Structure 1
C-alpha cells in the first residue's frame, strides 16, 4: 500500500468555514445560555440544569451550528439528542435538585443529591463492572470469547455526549463509576494469554477524542500480535466532529495510522454511530468518510432506537440508504439499554421490531447487512427476530447473535408477547420453563 504524500487523503480539503474552525466544547457552564435559544422560560431552564447536574452534558460548535435546527428546538431531534430534557428523570428528583440550585446551596450538597439519583439509574448495565476481568486488568472487558473491549484512559470523553448514552456513568466525575486504563502492556499480555481473542474493540468514551500520538501508543503494540484479525474503533466523531479526519492538525497523521493497521494485515473496522439522518447531510461528513475509506478501513454503522429522536422507519431507512451510498455498512440497530434515562427514551420491544421490520423492508438487499433490534444484555446480544402466534398466543421470537456462552449463539427461543416490555428482564419464557441462558 502506498503511504504518505501520495495517498488520496493527503489532498488538501477545500472546506469552507464555519466547519473548519478548531474544536470548541460547550459544557454545563454554557447550558443556560444555549437553552435560552429555545425560548424556554427560567423555571424550565432551571429544571434542565438540574438534569445536567445528574447526567453529563457536553456538545460543540459543529453540533450547535451545523446540525441543530434551532427554529424547531426544543423538539428538534438533534437538540434532543444532545441537550438534557427535564422529563429525563423522575419529577421528584428534578424538583429536589432544582430547589438546591435555586437556593444556591454549597456544591457538595448538590453533588450528594445528584449521586443519590445516579445510584437509582443502574449506572453499569449488563454486569459491566461485576463481569469485568480482574482488577489488575482494569480497563479491559472480555464478554465474548473472540472479542476484548479496551477503554483507554485518555479516551473517556466525547466530542459531544448523547442524552441516551448508556455509558453516561463514565462522564459524571465519579471515580468509582469509571473503568479505564493506560497500561497498553497489560492489554498486550492479556491478549497473549487468551489466544482465542481475534478482535480488540477500542472504545470509551470516544477513542477519536485522543490525538494521533496518543492513539498510536495504544494501537501500534497490537499490530505485532498475529492472533488479532481485526481492530475496531467505536466512535461518534464522524457525526459530531468530522473535522477530526479532514481539517484537524493531526488528521493526516491519524489516517496514516489507519493505513499502518491495514498494512499490518489487520481489518480496521471503524464502528461509526449515527443516530439521525441529519447527521449524514454535511458535505464535510462525506469528505471524512472518503478519507477514512482511502486508508483501507471499513466503516460499519450502528445506533440505538430512541424515542423522540429516531423512532420511525423512515429515519432508519434514510440513514441506511445514505450510509450505503457512501460505502458504509449498516451493522446494528440497538435497543436503548436499561440504564440512565431509559424510561424517557426506550421504545417497547414490539414497536421496536415493527420499526426495524418496516425500515428493513423498504431498503435494498445491500442495506440488509443490518441486524436488530438487539439488546446488549447480560447473557449477550439478544435480537428480536419477530412476533409470531403459536397455539393462539402471540410470542416474541428471539435469538442470541452474540453470547457469553458461545454454544448459545444462533439458537432461537421464545418469550410471551408483552406490549409494554422494553428489555429482556421484562420478558417471561414461552414454550419452555426458562430461557436457554438461565
Structure 2
C-alpha cells in the first residue's frame, strides 16, 4: 500500500530540463504534488494530455493577477476551529491539509501556503458545535483529503460524529480513488471502518472527484468496488476545465463510465475564480452547452448531475439558457430565505462567475416582466383595453 509521492517537478524524469526550469517558476507560488501512480497515467508524448494538464504546473497560472484566494467566501462561514456552517443541515469539517495530488485548479490553494491555519485535525471544537445544532443532519469531512489521514485518526473522527444522534450522513470528500486508489483497496482496516459505520439507516457517502474518464483505471474500479462492498454510497463531482474535460464527448464518457461502475454523477461545477485558475476556466454559458450536450447522449442514470456554482451566497444551479437569458436557481442558499430563488439574467458569453451577471440581474428581472406584460397586451383582444381601464 506504500505509495511514493513526488513534490517537485525537478524529480519527474519525463520532463526536459527546459520544462523543469519553466514550470519550476510556478512552484514558487503554487505547490506541486503527485503520486507515481498518477503520473504513470500521463501520455508524455502529448503536450496537451489532459491528465498532464490536470496535475503538472502551467506557467499560465502566474501570468495574470486574477482571482481570489477564497472565492466562495468560506471564511465567512467558519464558526469553530476547522468547521464551516454555511447551509443549515450541513457541517463542513476541514480535517486534513494534505492531498494525494494537488489539482492545478484547486479552489483551496490557500490551505497549502505557509501559515495557513483553517484545518484542524483536532475536531473537538467542531464536534461540540455540531452536537449543539440539531439541524445539522450531515457532516462533510474535507480539506485537503481526509483519506490522507492515518486510518486510526480517521476512525477517531468518524466515531465521534457517529455519537451524535441527529447526524445521519457522513460524507468524505476525496480524490484518492483517482490519485491513489490503492489507499482504499489495499487498506483492510479502512474498509472495515467504513463498513462498521455506513449503516442501513445512516450511510457514509464518499464524494469522489473523477475529472476525466482516463482516471477510471482498473485500479480505480477496484477501489470503487471495495467502497460499494463496504456499504459506502459513492457520488462524483468535478468542475468543467479548459483542456481537460471541456468537451461534450469527454464529459459524456465520464458520466457513462461512472454510472457503469455504480457511481452517480452528482455535481458539475463551474471552475471557481481562485487566483491562478483562469487558464482552466470555461465561460458559464459555454460550460452549460457542453454539460447539456453531454447529458443528451447518455441514459437517465448517467445524467443525474446538476451544473452549479459554489458562490459565496449559495450553490447556484444553471438551469436553462434561452437566446437572450440565463436562468439560475439557488439549489442551496446561505440565507434560507433565498432557497429555491430563481434569477434571470441577460446572456453574457464572457461571464465566468455569477458576479459577472450581478449588475444586470434586477434589470433582467424587470425587463422580462415588462416584456411579458407587453406581449400579453399585444396579443389581448380589443375589449381587454376597455376592461383594463
Same-fold call, TM > 0.5? yes
Q: How does 1:297-376 map to 2 (within 5 A)?
A: 297-372=232-307, 374-376=308-310
Question: Secondary structure, in 3 states, of the residue corresponding to 1:218?
Answer: helix
Question: Secondary structure, in 3 states, of the residue corresponding to 1:331?
Answer: strand
Of 158, 170, 188 in structure 2, the residue corresponding to residue 252 of structure 1 is 188
Aligned to 1:70: 44
Of 389, 392, 411 in structure 1, the residue corresponding to residue 341 of structure 2 is 411
Distance 2:298 2:274 in 1: 31
Distance 1:367 1:406 in 2: 30
Q: How much has 1:33 moved relative to structure 2?
A: 4.2
Distance 2:11 2:132 in 1: 52
Distance 1:223 1:260 in 2: 11
Matched, 1:147 2:147: no
Matched, 1:162 2:103: yes
Distance 1:304 1:380 in 2: 16
Aligned residues: 364
Aligned to 2:231: 296
Question: Secondary structure, in 3 states, of the residue corresponding to 1:302?
Answer: strand
Q: How does 1:49-128 map to 2 (within 5 A)?
A: 49-65=24-40, 67-72=41-46, 74-90=47-63, 121-128=67-74
**In 1, are the aligned partners of 2:82 and 2:123 still within 8 Å (CA)?**
no
**In 2, are the aligned partners of 1:223 and 1:264 still within 8 Å (CA)?**
no
Q: How does 1:20-39 map to 2 (within 5 A)?
A: 22-28=2-8, 31-34=9-12, 37-39=14-16
**In 1, are the aligned partners of 2:104 and 2:277 still within 8 Å (CA)?**
no
Distance 1:263 1:417 in 2: 46
Cα deviation 1:260-308 (Å, max 9, x = unaligned): 212384211100001100001x211111111100111100001000001
Question: Secondary structure, in 3 states, of the residue corresponding to 2:78?
Answer: coil
Gapped runs of 5+ residues in structure 1?
A: 1-20, 92-116
Distance 2:124 2:301 in 1: 40
Cα deviation 1:200-235 (Å, max 9, x = unaligned): 000010000111101011110111111011000000
Distance 2:131 2:200 in 1: 18
Cα distance, 1:178–1:339 mapped onto 2, change above 3 Å: farther
Question: Secondary structure, in 3 states, of the residue corresponding to 2:286?
Answer: helix
**In 2, are the aligned partners of 1:169 and 1:178 still within 8 Å (CA)?**
no
Distance 2:70 2:106 in 1: 12
RMSD of the TM alignment (CA)?
1.7
Q: How much has 1:246 moved relative to structure 2?
A: 1.7
Distance 1:241 1:295 in 2: 18
Aligned to 1:14: none
Aligned to 2:77: 131
Of 193, 203, 209 in structure 1, the residue corresponding to residue 142 of structure 2 is 203
Cα distance, 1:60–1:196 mapped onto 2, change above 3 Å: same
Distance 2:51 2:117 in 1: 27
Distance 2:76 2:301 in 1: 39
Distance 2:131 2:117 in 1: 25
Aligned to 2:371: none
Question: Secondary structure, in 3 states, of the residue corresponding to 2:332?
Answer: strand
**In 2, are the aligned partners of 1:276 and 1:309 still within 8 Å (CA)?**
yes
Q: How much has 1:336 moved relative to structure 2?
A: 0.5
**In 2, are the aligned partners of 1:151 and 1:179 still within 8 Å (CA)?**
yes
Stretches of 4+ moved more than 6 A in 1? none
Of 150, 156, 176 in structure 2, the residue corresponding to residue 217 of structure 1 is 156
Question: Secondary structure, in 3 states, of the residue corresponding to 1:126?
Answer: coil
Per mean C-alpha deviation after superposition, the further-off stretch among 424-433 and 316-325 is: 424-433
Gapped runs of 5+ residues in structure 2?
A: 368-389
Distance 1:48 1:291 in 2: 37
